[in-house]
Structure 1
Amino acid sequence: MGDEVEQRTFSRQDRQDFRRKVQQCLDALASMLADDTFAVDEPRIGMEIELNLVDDAMDPAMANTAVLEAIADPDFQTELGRFNIEINVAPAPLAGDRMRTLETELRASLDHADARAKETGSALAMIGMLPTLREEHFAAQWLSENPRYDLLNSQIFAARGEDIELNVTGVPLPGSREAESLHRIVDTILPEAACTSVQLHLQVAPDEFPAHWNAAQALAGVQVALAANSPFLAGRALWHETRLPLFEQATDTRPQELKNQGVRPRVWFGERWITSIFDLFEENSRYFPALLPVVSDQDPMAELAAGRTPELTELKMHNGTVYRWNRPIYDTSDGEHHLRLENRVLPAGPSVIDVMADAAFYYGALRSLVDADRPVWSQMSFDAAQDNLHSAARSGIDARCYWPEVGWVSPQELVLRRLLPMAEAGLDAFGVDPDVRDRYLRVIEGRCLRRQNGAVWQRSALAARERAGDDRGRALAGMLADYLDRMHDGEPVHTWSW
């Protein structure tokens, strides 16, 4: 969720000072971009995975403080809800067999964390949205203890001026013709905590960033269709990837009147292809008021003049409260500065190999799209890419997507015919060993051929339990228990039965 801040109130002067400081950071960033002083490392896979905590009854376990103390590993950190934690995976080279090694290390780390969590009466669930979350779990008492979360909660509601409306109409379950819906008014941002994701990072040179961001935007809908894993919330069957509309609504600072005026949402796909990474940072400062206007003492232009690396603290703070599905990141390390592309569309889970397969497909397809002689974003409208994302979130692998030279097509046909060979070529270009490449891309191929991702399995497994006589609550808990067993078995989700 970003840098920690202390609990406090903000004055009108704080907001004006922060705005001026963000502009100074933008000026410094523009200078650095012009001088081309950014560090560019070899291509690496960087990853964050958000996790849920459950108790023996498969209900949310409000125990992240105790679980983190038991795990005692700085790679694991707190998240928004007391039923959330996050693991930050250290960046590793893409080339050679390093992805396979990373898979082994990630599996071992999660197994160790789960064993320690069980000592506290909890267990880890790597899933896009916890099916057993109920509306009472969105009460303010379940915000994590970190002051940043309570402060962010209060600032979003202060900006909005009223409670948040959640409104999602779902897709009928297998064997049913009736769509279920969720329509509730909530007074905290805790529904955002239901949205647990995998975030993929790639360090990118400034002049190459626009092509990478544009390609990631074009690819986002296909990613979600392949990986959807968030079909249930508050006892209802909603979208295949309910995480997307829920996150959009749960952090929306706009009352209805501002929506009617076309004011941009803070969870944002964007509105155009870009030609510079500066476009994204500038849009964030131009369109979105500060939520956490904390001003540092550092003068970024003075740091540059002294030959030092500026932290751009205010720019980073503000950027962290604008939730683009593909987000630009400025960061510093060991006196150097670099830029990363953060891909945020993927849900967590279902298994470690599924997560690695999603990552391999993304990095490989992205590389091929960037290297193509004719960019895909020059052949399709930005609106088409955005429509693909929302269609995929709603219908998952049953969606229809638009792609240049193909037209309207199912995600699995598009992947099998076009994008899987591109992902293979992209991983080859990164120097990934062929056996490692094939290990992960065969998982993507298997999902397409069987037409089963996490959301399809969850929906089918729940429908089977209800046909056998379970009520909804019992069916959700039983399905989740089966999911966790298969998650630990480690086989990819397209092989799971119900």
Structure 2
Amino acid sequence: MGADVDRTEFSREDRARFRAKVQTCTAVLARMLAEGGFSTSDPQIGLEVELNLVDADMQPARANAEVLLAIADPDFQTELGQFNIEINVAPRPLAGSQTLELEAALRSSLDDADAKARESGHHIVMIGMLPTLTREHFQSQWMSVSPRYDLLNQQIFAARGEDLELDITGVLMPGAERPERLVVTSDSILPEAACTSVQLHLQVEPEAFAAHWNAAQCLTGVQAALAGNSPFLAGSALWHESRIPVFEQATDTRPLELKNQGVRPRVWFGERWITSIFDLFEENSRYFPALLPVCSEEDPLEALEAGRTPELSELKMHNGTVYRWNRPIYDTVDGTPHLRVENRVLPAGPTVLDTLANAAFYYGALRSLVAADRPVWTQMSFDAAEENLHSAARDGFDAQLYWPEVGWVRPDELVLRRLLPMAHEGLRSSGVSDEARERYLGVIEGRCLARRTGSVWQRETVATLEAQGADRPAALTEMLRRYTELMHGNTPVHTWAVNDHG
């Protein structure tokens, strides 16, 4: 969720100063982009995985402080809900067998953390949305104890001026006659905590950033369809990847009147292809008021002119409260600045193997799209890319996506016919070992051939349990128990059978 804050109240002067500092940071960034000096090392990849905590009965556990104390590993951190934690994986090169080593390291870390959590009766679950969450878990007492979360909650509701409302109509469950609909109001942003994600980072050179961001935007719909793992919330069957609409609605600072005026949402796909990372930071400063107007003591212009690398703290703070599905990142390591694309589309889980397969497909396809003679984003409208995301999140493999030179096509067909060969070539040209490439892209191929994602398995399992006489809460609990056992087995989700028990 970003850096901690040590303020709980802000004056009008604070907000004016913060706006001015963001504008100064943006101008300094423009100068830095023109003058150079950014890291040009080989592509570095990074990973963040958000996780859920449950008790022995598979119910959300208000236990992140206790579990983090037991884990005692700085790679694990708190998250918005007390039933959430996050693991941050150190950056590493993409080439060679690094992905295989990353899989082994991530599995080891999660197994160790889960073993320590079990000592206090808790379990760690890697899933896009915890299916046993109910409306009561959106109450403020479930929020992690942190000044940042409390302040963010206050600021969003102060801007909105009213309770938030989730209103989502789902897709038809197997055997059902009509789709389900969730309508719920909340006086906190805790519905956002239901959305547990995998965030993929890729360090890129400044002149290559725009191409990578545009290509990543083109891939969002395909990613959502391939990796759907979030079908249930508050007892309702919603979209295959319900994180997308839930996150959009749970962090919306706009009352209805501002929506009607066309005011931009803070969870934002964007509105145009870009020519520079500067375009995105300029949009942030132009369109979005501050939520956390915390100012540092640094004068970024003075730092730059003195030969130091500016931290651009205000720019980074503000950027962290504009929730793009592909977010631009400015950061520094050992005094050297670098730029990253942070991809935020994917849900957590179902397994570490599935997670690494999703990552390998993204990095490989992205590389090929960027290297293409005729960029795909010059052949499709930005609106089409956005519609692809929502269609795929809603309907999964049953969606119809638009792709240049192909037209309207199902996601599995698009991947098998066009994007999977591109992902192979992209990983090969990145120096990824044949063993890693075949392992992870083989999972993607199998998933497309079987047309089975984590969401499909969850929905079919719940439908089967209900047909056998279970009510919805019991079916969700039993499904999650089976899911958790299979998750530890690390076999890809497309091979799971409905009656599998791990």
Q: Which residues in structure 2 correspond to 1:79-478 (within 5 Å)?
A: 79-478=79-478
Q: In structure 2, how many angstroms separate the alpha carbons of the residues matched to 1:41 and 1:76? A: 27
Q: In structure 1, how many angstroms separate the alpha carbons of the residues matched to 2:360 and 2:327? A: 19
1:54 alignment partner AA: V
1:494 alignment partner AA: H
Tell me, what secondary structure is at the counterpart of 2:470?
coil
Q: In structure 2, how many angstroms separate the alpha carbons of the residues matched to 1:364 and 1:245? A: 27
2:9 alignment partner AA: T
Pairwise CA distance, 1:223: 0.4
Q: In structure 2, how many angstroms separate the alpha carbons of the residues matched to 1:264 and 1:238? A: 25
1:4 aligns with 2:4: yes
Tell me, what secondary structure is at the counterpart of 2:48?
strand
Whether the aligned pair in 1 keeps the contact of 2:224 and 2:346 (CA below 8 Å) is: yes
- 1:402-445 deviations in Å (ceiling 9; x for gaps): 00000000000000000000000000010001111000000000
Q: In structure 1, how many angstroms separate the alpha carbons of the residues matched to 2:481 and 2:132? A: 11
Q: In structure 2, how many angstroms separate the alpha carbons of the residues matched to 1:64 and 1:120? A: 11
2:338 alignment partner AA: H
Pairwise CA distance, 1:178: 1.1
Q: In structure 1, how many angstroms separate the alpha carbons of the residues matched to 2:319 and 2:199? A: 16
Tell me, what secondary structure is at the counterpart of 1:446?
helix
Pairwise CA distance, 1:172: 1.1
Tell me, what secondary structure is at the counterpart of 2:27?
helix
Moved over 3 A (4+): none
1:432 alignment partner AA: V
Q: In structure 1, how many angstroms separate the alpha carbons of the residues matched to 2:116 and 2:86? A: 15
Tell me, what secondary structure is at the counterpart of 2:213?
helix
Pairwise CA distance, 1:40: 2.2
- 1:217-237 deviations in Å (ceiling 9; x for gaps): 001000000000000000000
Q: Hey, what does 1:28 align to over in structure 2?
A: 28
Pairwise CA distance, 1:154: 0.3
Whether the aligned pair in 1 keeps the contact of 2:7 and 2:294 (CA below 8 Å) is: no
Tell me, what secondary structure is at the counterpart of 1:56?
coil
- 1:159-201 deviations in Å (ceiling 9; x for gaps): 1111101100001111112100111111000000000000000
1:87 alignment partner AA: I
Q: Hey, what does 1:59 align to over in structure 2?
A: 59
Whether the aligned pair in 1 keeps the contact of 2:392 and 2:399 (CA below 8 Å) is: yes
TM-score (norm 2): 0.99
1:497 alignment partner AA: A
2:139 alignment partner AA: A
Q: In structure 1, how many angstroms separate the alpha carbons of the residues matched to 2:309 and 2:120? A: 43
Tell me, what secondary structure is at the counterpart of 2:365?
helix
Q: Hey, what does 2:483 align to over in structure 1?
A: 483
- 1:22-65 deviations in Å (ceiling 9; x for gaps): 01101110110000111122112200000000001110000000
Alignment coverage as a number of residue pairs: 498
Pairwise CA distance, 1:7: 4.1
RMSD between aligned residues:
0.6
Tell me, what secondary structure is at the counterpart of 2:388?
helix
Pairwise CA distance, 1:97: 0.8
Pairwise CA distance, 1:121: 1.4
Tell me, what secondary structure is at the counterpart of 1:327?
strand
1:218 alignment partner AA: C
Aligned residues: percent identity?
70
1:375 alignment partner AA: P
2:34 alignment partner AA: A
Q: In structure 2, how many angstroms separate the alpha carbons of the residues matched to 1:210 and 1:440? A: 27
Q: In structure 2, how many angstroms separate the alpha carbons of the residues matched to 1:185 and 1:361? A: 37
Q: In structure 1, how many angstroms separate the alpha carbons of the residues matched to 2:170 and 2:72? A: 40
Tell me, what secondary structure is at the counterpart of 2:226?
helix
- 1:210-261 deviations in Å (ceiling 9; x for gaps): 0000000001000000000000000000011110000000000000000000
1:135 alignment partner AA: R
Q: In structure 2, how many angstroms separate the alpha carbons of the residues matched to 1:233 and 1:266? A: 22
Whether the aligned pair in 1 keeps the contact of 2:130 and 2:194 (CA below 8 Å) is: yes
Whether the aligned pair in 1 keeps the contact of 2:328 and 2:341 (CA below 8 Å) is: yes
Tell me, what secondary structure is at the counterpart of 2:202?
strand
Q: In structure 2, how many angstroms separate the alpha carbons of the residues matched to 1:403 and 1:462? A: 33
1:189 alignment partner AA: I
Whether the aligned pair in 1 keeps the contact of 2:360 and 2:437 (CA below 8 Å) is: yes
Whether the aligned pair in 1 keeps the contact of 2:388 and 2:402 (CA below 8 Å) is: yes
Whether the aligned pair in 1 keeps the contact of 2:49 and 2:198 (CA below 8 Å) is: yes
- 1:373-398 deviations in Å (ceiling 9; x for gaps): 00000000000000000000101111
Tell me, what secondary structure is at the counterpart of 1:193?
helix
Q: In structure 2, how many angstroms separate the alpha carbons of the residues matched to 1:314 and 1:444? A: 40
1:368 alignment partner AA: S
Q: In structure 1, how many angstroms separate the alpha carbons of the residues matched to 2:182 and 2:474? A: 19
2:153 alignment partner AA: N
Whether the aligned pair in 1 keeps the contact of 2:103 and 2:352 (CA below 8 Å) is: yes
Tell me, what secondary structure is at the counterpart of 1:282?
helix
Q: In structure 2, how many angstroms separate the alpha carbons of the residues matched to 1:238 and 1:470? A: 19
Pairwise CA distance, 1:451: 0.3
Q: In structure 1, how many angstroms separate the alpha carbons of the residues matched to 2:488 and 2:41? A: 34
Q: In structure 1, how many angstroms separate the alpha carbons of the residues matched to 2:146 and 2:12? A: 24
Pairwise CA distance, 1:89: 0.4
- Farther off after superposition, 8-17 or 362-371: 8-17
- 1:327-383 deviations in Å (ceiling 9; x for gaps): 000001101110000000000000000000000000000000000000000000000
1:56 alignment partner AA: A
1:26 alignment partner AA: T
- 1:298-337 deviations in Å (ceiling 9; x for gaps): 0000000110010000000000000000000000110111
Whether the aligned pair in 1 keeps the contact of 2:82 and 2:144 (CA below 8 Å) is: yes
2:272 alignment partner AA: R
Tell me, what secondary structure is at the counterpart of 2:337?
strand
